[in-house]
Amino acid sequence: MKIESLTNIHVKHWVKLREKKYRDESGLFLIEGDHLLNEALQKGVVKEIVSNDSSWKKENIPFYEVTPAILKKISHQISSTKVVAVCEKVKEKTIKGNICILDCIQDPGNLGTIIRSCVAFGIDTLVVSQDTVDVYNEKVIRASEGLFFHLNIVRKNLPLFLEEIKKDDYLLLGTDVKNGKCLESIEINKKYAILMGNEGKGVQKALASKCNEMVNISMSNSCESLNVAVATSIILYSLNNRKKALK
Q: How far is the CB of 29 from a second copy (least distance, A)?
A: 21
- Cα dihedral 143/149/150/152 (nearest 10): 100
Site track 59-98 with a second copy (rule: CB under 8 A), x = hit: ----------------------------------------
Q: Rounded to whole angstroms, how far apart are CA atoms 116 and 123?
A: 10
Span from 44-52, 95-103, 134-142, 237-245 in contact with a second copy (CB under 8 A) = 237-245
Read off the DSSP letter of residue 3.
B
- CA-wise closest residue to 37 among 112, 116, 141: 141
Q: Does residue 184 touch a second copy according to CB under 8 A?
A: yes
- CA-wise closest residue to 236 among 185, 197, 193: 193
Footprint (CB under 8 A) of a second copy, residues 124-163 = 143, 145, 147, 150
**With contact defined as beta carbons under 8 Å apart, do 49 and 57 qualify?**
yes
Q: Does residue 119 touch a second copy according to CB under 8 A?
A: yes
Q: Does residue 111 touch a second copy according to CB under 8 A?
A: no
Pick from 72, 122, 155, 191: which binds a second copy (CB under 8 A)? 122
- Nearest-5° Cα angle at 145, 144 to 151: 55
**Interface positions with a second copy (CB under 8 A):** 109, 113, 116-117, 119-122, 143, 145, 147, 150, 184, 217-220, 222-227, 229-230, 233-234, 237, 240-241, 244
